[in-house]
Amino acid sequence: MTILKIDETKIPKHVAIVMDGNGRWAKARNLERTVGHQEGIKSVREIAETAARIGVKYLTLYTFSMENWHRPLEEVSALMGLLMYELNDKIFKKNKIRFDTIGDISRLPKNIQEQIQVVKDSTACFDRMTLVLALSYSSRWEITNATKKIAEEVAAGTLSPEQVDESCVSSHLGTYFMPDPDLLIRTGGNLRLSNYLLWQSAYTEFYFSDIYWPDFRELQFREAIVSYQHRERRFGKISEQIQKS
């Protein structure tokens, strides 16, 4: 494999990924969809290790959306089984990676909730990179939930309407502990966000790949990083202002 040269001074601090295409990858090979999910786990491991190695500080993976609960029961059960099997601290301890989650974790099976907490606790001391799994996650659910919390605080008198600004909203979201994503990657060829980090992606750079997630490995990840590094992020300003700063 040809290793692409990455500018170590322009590494995105936070990369978010929509891991799409597991089922289609399996279907193209006349395999069960669950086989695609199993193969996709190999990509998770490789991308996580690569991200940590090149200096990414936060890697957020869209693992199971709120809408995924509507999939056939046998597929949901298989996904929960895979999640439980893979939720151990081996890869985290090996690479000094901290583990965290966003989403409505209360909807997950009790044994998975307990295992999530075990891995969070056992990796809390690591600071090389934080790997965040979006589980039972929906951005609209997240924003709605944050709005309810803010309304409750205003009603209780602990927060005034004048204090409700962008910073306030961000602090009430599940992602309060990390910066907004610099780069969002979606595999599988679809060009949409699918209810993922809608608030947080206001100024995120997008990278869409036709490659299905099980085939998206270190080379493809590096290509996404290189593409990001060749972009000019202006945040509403003009090029001349950016060059002067």
Residues belonging to the active site? 20, 68
Residue 224 corresponds to which tokens in the numbers above? 């996404």
Give the Cα-Cα-Cα angle 71, 25, 73 (nearest 5 degrees).
15
Query: Which residues share a beta bridge with 59?
Result: 15, 131
CA distances from 119 to 13, 62, 151 (A): 23, 18, 33
Q: Contact, 69 vs 100, CB < 8 A?
A: no
Write phi, then psi, for 46 (nearest 5 degrees): -70, -45
Query: What whole-number distance in Å separates Cα of residue 245 and Cα of residue 230?
Result: 18
Helix, strand, coil % in the chain, rounded to nearest 5 = 50, 15, 35
